[in-house]
Amino acid sequence: MRIAMLGLVDVRADDGTPVEITGARLRTLLILLALDPGRVVTGARLIDGVWGDDPPAEATNALQALVSRLRRALPEPAVESTPAGYRLAVPPDTVDLHRFEQLAALGRAALRTDPRRAAKVLREAEALWRGPALADTANAAFAQAPLARLEERRLAVRGDRIEAELPGADGVELVAELEELVAEHPLHERFTGLLMRALHQAGRSGDALAVHARIRDALADELGANPSAELAALHLEVLRGGETPQDRPHTNLRAGLTSFVGRDTDLAKVSALVGPSRLVTLTGPGGSGKTRLATEVARALLEEMRDVWLVELAPVSDGADLPQAVVSALGLRMPALLGSTLAHSTEPEAVDPVDRLAAALSTRALLLVLDNCEHLIGPAAALANRLLGECPRLRVLATSREPLGITGETLWPVDPLPLPPEGASRDQAMRFPSMRLLADRASAVRPGFAVDDRTALHMIHICRALDGMPLAIELAAARLRTMSAQQVATRLDDRFRLLTGGSRLTLPRHQTLRAVVDWSWDLLGDAERTLLRRLAVFAGGSTLEAAEQVCAGAGLPAVEVFDVLSALLDKSLVLLAEDGRYRMLQTIKAYGLERLADAGETDRVRWAHVEHFGRLAETAEPYLRRAEQLDWIDRLDADKDNLNAALRTAIAAGETRTAEWFLANLGWYWWLHGHKVEGGELAAEVLAMTGEGAPAEVRAVAYGMAALLAVDGLRDADKALSFFTSAVAAAKGIDPGTHPVIRLIGPLDEVMHSLGRPTEPLRLNAIEVLTEDDDPWVCGTAQALRAHAFLNAGRLHAEAEADFRAALGSFRAVGDRWGMSFALCSLADLIAWRGDLAGAAELYQEAILVFSQLVTNEDLTRYRLRLADLLLQLGRTAESAAMLAQARRGADRSGMPEGLARVAHATGDFARRRGGLDPARADLARAAVLAAHTSVAPQFRAVIEASRGYLATAAGDPAAAAAHHATAFDWALKSNDAPMIAHVLVGLAELSIDRGDPRHAAALLGASVAIRGVPDLSFADGVRVEAATRAALGEELFAESAARGASATMDTVRELAVIPAA
């Protein structure tokens, strides 16, 4: 996807197809997010930007609705929700204004060394402009600052491009453009200087002198100033008739030995900061690439600053030696400056070296790069503060693991390189800087190294395991000289032993991964070391509250945790994420765990972690059935890794009681939020443990949750029935008011056993009692369960509809979105069966809107596909295609086989119904393969085979059609689901028509209606086959034949469902 905002908003899919973003507010929302892609924009900022001074009454809900519209409009799932706001999850270079910034920085960096390449890059940057920037929101308050910056940058790029073109031109072709620029910006000294050079190169030296005279007079009249020294020098050169001065920069920067990968955005933005801010400090953990970024920024600014010097402080061990280090780097000849010995001199001429240094730099326009300040943080801060105060034209760019902490400092965190998602394809992964860096460095040490699909998977693992840290990635790349990517990836658990052998030319502390972290550890105080090692037990970060509760004690009071944590944050050993949580890089975490074990604190801190997150789950559990469920799901999501880690600790220690406590409190969260498979596996593992279990009420809930997860997560009906039986046994004698799930355990067990015996009468006595429960959630759940029991048995549709409507009311009263969507979809299917497809579509749209706030899993995919089917039957093909595409994006994003199988089935089935037999065949075959290799409900297997049977009939292959429909019938029988058995009988009816027996077809259709209890007018193939059968028989004979099947039951349907002979 490409997003263009340098002009009117223009969005394109990967294939170049235009994407329409309709409505001014929708475009404004996109612009606000795209101004800072990859970073969270708060809801308050978005509301202010979209609505300004006139926000709607329910601004948060209005914003959510607008975000939902934007998600539907964009061709890929790019807008992500976080607790802090929303984020446009796209690489910066997919947005034209950020691509412009990147190209501008690259062009400026190449200006000195390769003007031809610089001109090409800068022309590419200028070509991105299609009109005024942010044209859709040019008058909005939020747009003014970025507009001013972009216009200023555009002028700078134009100047850079002209400067790059001048050496290869005779000046004539550039004069007209420069005259226009100077007329628009008469006090712009750079444009004036470029025009003078172009005129001089074109042989018009007199005109060049006249241009100088004009700006000299204008500066004097309007500003009371003289031309700059650079312009005066150019004027003198023209007067002398000599060569045009190139004003070579003065610098000690060395050419880089390796390519600069993955920091284009940082390069552009930091380059833009230096100047407006006189002190910019690049902060970040060791190995994040601060030094390389600083040198590339300095190189990019050479043409502008002309005087750029790098001071390497790593070898300096005494702060008193700092001034001499600067003097040496600058090449200043100052005999009185004798380094740290000067302070002890008895010579009367002895002078403070900083005084002499400040005097030497007082008039110079100079960029000073102070690299690696962290071990001399105090002296470095004092020196920078003194020099900046006395040298008005000085700029300082520092690198440090913590800020210098002086007034006027601008911080730029050097974050790890962006990471490819797990399971990304080779092409997708290579778009990410961390992968490009690993591939680039691997190619350097191992000629012929190629990234194929298999290698890419291991490289993704390497990049993710190393947090995208450039130094660690380069050390891993060095190992690829003698090891495969798979071997490196599998050995990263012992990363400190593996990642050694860096360049001999680098500092010793950069030659191994352990040395990098040791350097930071050695700079810490005792309290900082204590907190750092204890924080390592967290998985996925922590809140301040969690850190205080888990890490305090034994030498670290809780009241001191915040201050110590802030110190670790300043030292870049802990990161503050956009969601306000504190996180550690995996390498720091691994190091911390080693230090925790060395201190003998592992068990104590791990069990404090277990206790804290067990209490969090216990507190959250009741709120998951109420209107507050979204807030609590967000809280549990934020700590999902911690919760799982705590549970794993209990399992590994054989603490059955604690593990069952976690299962009882997390089971509904797993079910509700789309973690059914993972939760089902964990539940089975917990309940297989031996040892003293939890109290009966906790154990009963744990077994009840495990049963639900076994049904819809593991797809294991036998295990579910076993868990329900155990839950019933555990719940005996317990006060039903203890927990809502305990009240439902008996009724649920009753329903499960009834559904497993379709020939027996329904036993719903326990459910009946709960439909009058005082708790609306329990009442609604019981009403919905009773309704589904009716439908699965093929009877009492009016009662089922009444129950679903009552359940919807109950769930609305308590605010449970899962219950609302469940009831809405069930109602939608019922009225769709009656033929009200439009009404059913409306209910599905509402259900999707409600349910999408909770999950993005297979349930949501299934709802979207059902809505796409209804829309297709209503003739709303464009809406159907859009909904199918949305379902596909959701399934692709989750990567779950069942979701992918459902999308493949729907895609193939829709194509079949439109006559596209060849694409339908491929998609349906893919659906069958995916379903066969994952745990799916037998109903879905039956539907796939029925679709393949219809396809085979359409393709003229009756033998294949018979085989597929027979398999579909077998799967339907295994499901014990009356509506599904009714569904597959339609396929057998079509076989009968195809083989010349329409009377048997009518009997099968009659049986289908009898078993379901009502006709299904939403089943497109059912409507089609019935019409064909009526046409073959006539109404009277059809009615007579259908009546023969109307007496069929779940017991007798096998006798009727005979595959007709060919």
Tokens read off for 607: 């069990």
Task: Express each pLDDT in 470-481 by its tens digit.
Answer: 988 888 888 888
Coil, strand or helix at 256: coil
Q: Is 85 inside any structural domain?
A: no
Helices 817-833 and 629-638: angle between axes, nearest 10 degrees: 120
Q: What distance in Å separates the CA atoms of residue 862 and residue 844, rounded to the nearest whole number?
A: 11
**Cα separation of the two ends of the chain:** 52
Sheet holding 366-371, edge to edge: 250-251, 307-312, 366-371, 394-400, 279-283, 409-413
The answer to whether residue 547 sits within a structural domain is yes
Residue at 104 is within a domain: no
pLDDT at 703: 95
Residue 203 CA to residue 90 CA, distance in Å, equals 50
| Mean pLDDT, residues 374-394 | 93
User: What pLDDT sits at residue 342?
Assistant: 36
Find the helix or strand (DSSP H, E) in which 81 lies: strand 79-82
Write down the pLDDT at residue 341.
36
For residue 828 the two structure tokens come to: 């939608």
Q: Are residues 634 and 782 in the same domain?
A: no
pLDDT in tens, 607-658: 999 999 999 999 999 999 999 999 999 999 999 999 999 999 999 999 999 9
Q: Report d(CA 79, CA 84) in Å as an integer.
A: 13
- DSSP type of residue 542: B
The predicted structure's pLDDT at residue 511: 60
Same-domain pairing of 1015 and 925: no
Reply yes or no on whether the pLDDT at 745 is more than 80. Answer: yes
The last residue of one of the domains, among 936, 953, 969, is 936
Whole-number pLDDT of residue 498 = 80
Could you give the angle at the alpha carbon of 756 between the alpha carbons of 750 and 757, nearest 5°? 95
pLDDT higher than threshold 70 for residue 168: no
**Cα 868 from Cα 520, distance rounded (Å):** 56
- Encode pLDDT of 979-1021 as tens digits: 999 999 999 999 999 999 999 999 999 999 999 988 999 999 9
* Burial class, 745, CB count within 10 angstroms (exposed 0-12 / middle 13-18 / buried 19+): buried
Kindly state whether residues 771 and 685 are assigned to the same domain: no
How would you classify residue 467: left for phi > 0, otherwise alpha for psi between -120 and 50, otherwise beta? Answer: left
Retrieve residue 161's tokens.
Answer: 């491009």
> Residues 321-332: pLDDT tens digits?
899 889 888 877
Q: Does 811 share its domain with 764?
A: yes
The candidate with the shortest Cα–Cα distance to 140, out of 2, 71, 42, 47, is: 47
Q: Which helix (H) or strand (E) holds 310?
A: strand 307-312
- What does the block give as tokens for 758? 């379709």
Residue 43 pLDDT greater than 70, yes or no: yes
- The SS3 assignment for 375 reads helix
Clarify whether residues 885 and 1001 are in a common domain.
no
Mean pLDDT of 260-282: 90
Write down the pLDDT at residue 444: 86
Do 535 and 473 belong to one domain? no
179 domain residue, yes or no: no
Q: What is the rounded distance in angstroms from the CA atom of residue 795 to the CA atom of residue 601?
A: 63
Q: Quote the pLDDT of residue 340.
A: 39
Task: Give mean pLDDT, residues 671-700.
Answer: 92
Residue 361 is assigned to a structural domain of this protein:
yes
Mean pLDDT of the chain: 88
How far CA 83 is from CA of 30, 72, 203, 562, 612, in Å, comes to 19, 21, 64, 22, 21
Beta-strand pair 279-283/409-413: parallel
3-state secondary structure at position 250 = strand
User: Which residue type sits at 643?
Assistant: L
Read off the CATH number of the domain in which 395 is found.
Answer: 3.40.50.300
Whether 371 is in a domain gets the answer: yes
Could you give the 3-state DSSP secondary structure of residue 18?
strand
- Is 171 inside any structural domain? no
Q: Could you tell me how many helices (H) and strands (E) the chain has, helices first? A: 51, 14
- Confidence band of 856 (pLDDT split at 50, 70, 90): low
Positive/negative CA dihedral, 314, 319, 324, 326: positive
**Tokens linked to 750:** 């009753």
In sign, the C-alpha dihedral spanning 8, 9, 15, 20 is negative
pLDDT in tens, 438-490: 999 899 888 888 899 889 999 999 999 998 999 888 888 888 888 899 999 98
pLDDT band, residue 539 (cuts 50/70/90): very high
β pairing state of 307-312 and 250-251? parallel
Do 370 and 262 lie in one domain? The reply is yes
Question: 80, exposed or middle or buried, with CB in 10 Å at 0-12, 13-18, 19+?
Answer: middle
- Tell me the backbone φ, ψ of residue 309, rounded to 5 degrees: -135, 135
Residue among 744, 419, 742, 751 at smallest CA distance from 585? 419
396 and 436 part of one domain: no
Angle, CA of 186, 189 and 190, to the nearest 5°: 115
pLDDT of residue 760: 58
What does the angle CA 159 – CA 164 – CA 166 come to, to the nearest 5 degrees?
95
How far apart, in Å, are the Cα atoms of 666 and each of 670, 675, 730? 6, 10, 19
Nearest-angstrom CA–CA distance, 353 and 336: 8
Residue range 3-33, pLDDT digits in tens? 999 999 999 988 788 888 988 999 999 999 9
Q: For the domain that residue 893 is a member of, what is the CATH number?
A: 1.25.40
> Whole-angstrom Cα distance, residue 476 to residue 441?
9
Looking only at the bridges linking them, the beta strands covering 10-12 and 18-19 are antiparallel
Q: Are 249 and 366 in contact (CB under 8 A)?
A: no
Candidate from 304-318, 422-436, 476-490, 500-514 with smallest mean pLDDT: 500-514
Asked whether the predicted pLDDT for residue 394 surpasses 80, the reply is yes
Question: Average pLDDT of 878-889?
Answer: 93
In this prediction, residue 351 carries a pLDDT of 58
Percent of the chain, pLDDT > 70?
94
**pLDDT range class, residue 795, cuts 50, 70, 90:** low
CA atoms of 813 and 94, how far apart (whole Å): 45
Six-digit token pair at 734?
A: 């317990």
Q: What is the pLDDT of residue 528?
A: 96
Provide the pLDDT confidence category of residue 247 given band limits of 50, 70 and 90. Answer: very low
CA–CA separation, 196 and 449 (whole Å): 50
Q: Report how far residue 138's alpha carbon sits from residue 153's, in angstroms, rounded to the nearest whole number.
A: 17
732: buried, middle or exposed (CB in 10 Å: 19+, 13-18, 0-12)? exposed
Where is 367: in which H helix or E strand?
Answer: strand 366-371
Question: pTM value?
Answer: 0.70
Domain boundary among 873, 907, 936: 936
Q: Which two tokens stand for residue 227?
A: 């031309």
pLDDT of residue 501: 60
**How confident is the model over 964-982, as a mean pLDDT?**
93
Domain match, 409 and 287 both: yes
Evaluate whether residue 866 is within a structural domain.
yes
Max mean pLDDT range (37-46, 196-205, 284-293, 923-932): 923-932
Which residues have C-beta within 8 Å of that of residue 73, sequence separation ≥ 6? 19, 20, 21, 22, 26
Q: How confident is the model at residue 224 (pLDDT cuts 50, 70, 90)?
A: confident
The parent domain of residue 585 ranges over 524-600
Q: Which of 729, 756, 783 is the endpoint of a domain?
A: 756
932/951 same-domain check:
no
H-assigned helices in 536-655: 544-551, 558-570, 586-598, 602-620, 629-638, 640-652
CA 1037, CA 1031: separation in Å to the nearest integer?
A: 10
Q: What per-residue confidence (pLDDT) applies to 246?
A: 43
Nearest of 255, 267, 257, 580 to residue 433 by alpha carbon: 267
- Do residues 267 and 394 share a domain? yes
pLDDT at 339 over 70: no
Per the structure, how many domains does the chain have?
A: 7
SS3 labels along 462-483: HHHHCCCCHHHHHHHHHHCCCC
pLDDT score recorded for residue 345: 41
Max avg pLDDT among 504-513, 705-714, 1023-1032: 1023-1032
Q: Which two tokens stand for residue 232?
A: 């005066």
Residue 48, H or E segment: helix 43-51
* One domain, residues 293 and 398: yes
Rg (CA), the chain: 36
**Which of 367, 392, 390, 370 has the alpha carbon at shortest distance from 381?**
370
**Is 583 in a helix, a strand, or coil?**
strand
Percent of the chain at pLDDT > 90 equals 54
**pLDDT at residue 599, rounded to an integer:** 95
